[in-house]
Structure 1
Amino acid sequence: MKFDLHTHHFRCGHADDSIEAYIQAGIKAGLGVIGISDHSPYFASVEDQPNPGTAMAKSDFVNYIEEVLKLKAKYEGKIDVLLGVESDYYPEHEQLYKDVYAKYPFDYIIGSVHQTRGVSIFNRKRWKGLSAEVQITEKEHYYALIGQSAKSGMFQVLGHIDAMKGYYPAFSDIPATEAIDTALSIIADSGVAIEINTSGKMKDSGGWYPSNAILERACHYGVQVTFGSDSHVPKRVGDEWELVAKRLKEIGFKQWVYFKQKQPVVVKL
């Protein structure tokens, strides 16, 4: 059973094409399950859409959900369309986001840390001039937030847990093994899955999120894994699914999961 839980579309402002185009691409790629998971609005903002090129408007959120549910019914029997969303994780707004999501029948929610200390994790300039000690502190802070997101109970999946390396490959070499291990232990205890996200290959770091080294440690801690292409164009749906499955088996994983009605569905590797 092939599945892909991480796809975007035009509403977020930085992806191409319609939700239906991604569903059709999933069918073409041989998927049995496709999750639609566009970027959530900034619910804590007073503006309807403070960053049009980053996330959808608050006023469009219900339209997004209704469209996914209609397409789920339309494609029943051809592919299982799941209602998801990729949510930013802001500890200070945790209850607000929980209250919003509780109104809708999500199959799963991906929790992603996209900012730390108010700065994008993809901003390569954030590392300029930092001492080795401060770099370690920043990496530890990032993984502390990831661990906190797992404990929040908001999410079924955690998105791209080493994406901070995307435009700063040296991030992977910053020594913070204890912080990573602590986060992985928390994730394992929470029952949340981490995704193997194949979009990292298009960034400066190359490769997938997370690295093989982190996946090996995740296997040691008993962390559940899932798959997400993080596709922003339909042609990337299911991208490198077979290669990921092969690598996971080599590492020692026996299964991976997707989520339906917030319950894990086990798929043997």
Structure 2
Amino acid sequence: MKFDLHTHHYRCGHADGDIRDYIEAAIKEGLSVIGISDHMPHLFSPLDHPAPSITMSRLELGAYIDEVLQLKKEYAGKIDVLLGIESDYFIDHERPYREAIERYPFDYVIGSVHVSSGKSIFDRNRWAGIPAEQMIEAKKEYYRLIEASARSGMFQILGHIDAMKGYYPAFVDIPADDAIDSALRTIGESGLAIEVNTSGGTKLCGGWYPSDAVLERALHYGVSISFGSDAHKPSRVGEDFDAVANKLRDIGFKEWIYVKERKPVPVPL
């Protein structure tokens, strides 16, 4: 069976189409499960919508949830529509996110680190002129945040865990194996999954998140794997699903998972 747990829509301000468009695209692609996981509002801010090109507004969160739940009912028997959300992880602002996650009936929450050392992980200029020692520390800090997100207990899936390479492909060559291993060990011990996120293919790095080397280490640490296209337009729903499955089999994985009602559902590879 095919599934995709990472999709966005117009509310986040940088995606095309509405939720129904993504569900219809999933049916067309032969998916059995489609997860809707738009960006959680920036709940730490006193403003309703401090980042209109990054997340939905706080006032839209309830409407988003109601719409997904209504479509879940409408499409029952055709495709399993899951209510998810992608939540930023800010180590100094866990409380408002934890409260929102506990308040609503999400099937799953994807925890993603998008900001590290005070800068976007996708900032194309953050590496310019930085000495090698600072690059190493920046990479280690990124993985320390990912490990902290795993310890937080708020998430079932961690999103795109090497996405810092998106606009800086040389990120993969920065030595930080100890920090990566520590994060993966904690993720495995916490019973969480990481996603294979195929949106990396749309960035300068030209490949999925995470790299094969990280997936091999994830297998060693007993980390579960999920799948997400991170589609920001309906045409990308389910993108590269079969190719990812083949890669995971080659690495040695026997199954991957989707998450429903906060519980992993295994799918044989």
Give the structure 1 partner of residue 32 of structure 2: 32
Give the structure 2 partner of residue 10 of structure 1: 10
* Contiguous gaps of at least 5 residues in structure 2: none
* CA deviation string 1:107-141 (max 9, x = no partner): 00000000012210000211111110110001000
1:103 aligns with 2:113: no
Indicate the SS of the match to 1:161. coil
Give the structure 2 partner of residue 260 of structure 1: 260
Give the structure 1 partner of residue 60 of structure 2: 60
* CA deviation string 1:225-269 (max 9, x = no partner): 000000000010000000000000000000000000000000000
Distance between the aligned counterparts of 2:177 and 2:48, measured in 1?
40
* CA deviation string 1:28-66 (max 9, x = no partner): 000000000000100011111111111000000000000
Indicate the SS of the match to 2:105. coil
Q: TM-score, normalised by structure 1?
A: 0.99
* Contiguous gaps of at least 5 residues in structure 1: none
* CA deviation string 1:124-182 (max 9, x = no partner): 21111111011000100000000000010000000000000000111110001111011
Give the structure 2 partner of residue 225 of structure 1: 225
Give the structure 1 partner of residue 118 of structure 2: 118
| 8 Å CA contact retained: 2:39, 2:54 | yes
Q: TM-score, normalised by structure 2?
A: 0.99
Distance between the aligned counterparts of 2:148 and 2:113, measured in 1?
10
Give the structure 2 partner of residue 72 of structure 1: 72
Distance between the aligned counterparts of 1:97 and 1:226, measured in 2?
22
Aligned residues: 269
Q: Which amino acid aligns with 1:60?
A: E
Where do 1:1-269 residues align within 5 Å? 1-269=1-269
Distance between the aligned counterparts of 1:98 and 1:181, measured in 2?
26
Distance between the aligned counterparts of 1:44 and 1:145, measured in 2?
17
| 8 Å CA contact retained: 2:44, 2:93 | yes
Q: Which amino acid aligns with 2:88?
A: D
Distance between the aligned counterparts of 1:192 and 1:96, measured in 2?
21
Indicate the SS of the match to 1:140. helix
Distance between the aligned counterparts of 2:95 and 2:125, measured in 1?
31
Distance between the aligned counterparts of 1:119 and 1:207, measured in 2?
22
Indicate the SS of the match to 2:184. helix
Distance between the aligned counterparts of 2:100 and 2:184, measured in 1?
27
| 8 Å CA contact retained: 2:150, 2:192 | yes
Distance between the aligned counterparts of 1:218 and 1:119, measured in 2?
26
Q: Which amino acid aligns with 1:16?
A: D
Q: Which amino acid aligns with 2:100?
A: V
| 8 Å CA contact retained: 2:117, 2:141 | no
Distance between the aligned counterparts of 2:205 and 2:71, measured in 1?
35
Distance between the aligned counterparts of 2:246 and 2:31, measured in 1?
17
- Alpha-carbon RMSD across the aligned residues, in angstroms, is 0.5
Distance between the aligned counterparts of 2:101 and 2:179, measured in 1?
29
| 8 Å CA contact retained: 2:122, 2:166 | yes
Distance between the aligned counterparts of 1:69 and 1:197, measured in 2?
25
Indicate the SS of the match to 2:126. helix
